[in-house]
């Protein structure tokens, strides 16, 4: 099993430890990235990715390294501490660079067989909203299954977390890792993903705004009978 692990911060605090713990319990090769160390650029809004292709993004080389790892992974784990009730700006900036891989544009077939895990912690509140936001990103990228791990740690570092909370973290990460392993190779998109895909399929038939998107769907035969979760 291959795991891509993306941290929305360089700091190795409680969020990092929980994400790393989940990856290690799941087992396999881990490809790990830290933002902003491995990617710090903001989206310029130039729309080159939409109208010309993602390879024309000014930051395509760095984006492609991380996104390429995601596409080759079986499990994608993304972590972000809660910063002002949101995910970190660098993680959001990364997501902004790959929006053309959303269901509404040019989704990658590989995403439809992947499991994603999103992780966030906060001293008191906001972590549930952050995992919801990250999960939304993974859903619209086509991930077949998305799990959320949100913890109120009541501390500013790992050493300050109570034994009770650490026990809860151990229990939940153990349970999730076992679930991921048990479903390995058998993950398929649910009804909501397939429903959104069909809505986007109807839209693409009349898409005059982004011709590259429509051409992509035509070439995949998704406007016909093929579907990405059926292998062609």
Q: Is 117 helix (H, G, I), strand (E, B) or coil?
A: strand
- pLDDT class of 232 with cuts at 50, 70, 90: very low
pLDDT digits (tens, 9 = 90+) for 103-122: 999 999 999 999 999 999 99
Q: Is 146 helix (H, G, I), strand (E, B) or coil?
A: strand
- pLDDT class of 150 with cuts at 50, 70, 90: very high
pLDDT at position 180 is 97
CATH topology of domain 2-189: Rossmann fold (3.40.50)
Instruction: Indicate the angle between helix axes 127-140 and 191-204, nearest 10 degrees.
Output: 50
Q: What is the pTM of this model?
A: 0.96
pLDDT digits (tens, 9 = 90+) for 1-45: 999 999 999 999 999 999 999 999 999 999 999 999 999 999 999
pLDDT digits (tens, 9 = 90+) for 20-32: 999 999 999 999 9
pLDDT digits (tens, 9 = 90+) for 69-95: 999 999 999 999 999 999 999 999 999
CB 135, CB 80: distance < 8 Å: no
- Parse the chain into domains and list their residue ranges: 2-189
**Alpha-carbon span 194 to 47, nearest angstrom:** 27
- Written in H, E and C, the secondary structure of 60-103 is HHHHHHHHHHHHHCCEEEEECCCECCECCHHHHHHHHHCHHHCC
Q: CA 165 → CA 35, 64, 113, 149, 151, distances in Å?
A: 26, 37, 32, 13, 8
């Amino acid at each position: 099993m291959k795991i891509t692990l993306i941290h929305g911060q360089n700091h190795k605090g409680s969020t990092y430890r929980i994400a790393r713990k989940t990856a290690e319990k799941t087992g396999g090769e881990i490809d790990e990235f830290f933002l902003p160390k491995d990617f710090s650029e903001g989206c310029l809004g130039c729309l080159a990715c939409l109208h010309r292709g993602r390879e024309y993004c000014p930051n395509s080389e760095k984006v492609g390294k991380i996104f390429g790892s995601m596409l080759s992974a079986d499990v994608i784990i993304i972590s972000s501490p809660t910063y002002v009730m949101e995910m970190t700006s660098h993680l959001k900036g990364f997501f902004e660079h790959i929006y053309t891989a959303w269901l509404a544009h040019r989704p990658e077939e590989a995403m439809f067989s992947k499991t994603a895990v999103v992780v966030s912690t906060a001293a008191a509140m906001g972590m549930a909203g952050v995992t919801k936001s990250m999960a939304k990103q993974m859903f619209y990228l086509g991930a077949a299954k998305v799990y959320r791990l949100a913890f109120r740690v009541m501390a500013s570092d790992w050493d300050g977390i109570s034994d009770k909370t650490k026990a809860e973290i151990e229990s939940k990460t153990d349970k999730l890792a076992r679930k991921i392993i048990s479903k390995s190779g058998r993950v398929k998109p649910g009804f909501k993903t397939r429903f959104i895909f069909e809505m986007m399929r109807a839209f693409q038939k009349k898409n005059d705004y982004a011709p590259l998107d429509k051409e992509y769907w035509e070439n995949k035969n998704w406007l016909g009978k093929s579907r990405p979760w059926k292998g062609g």
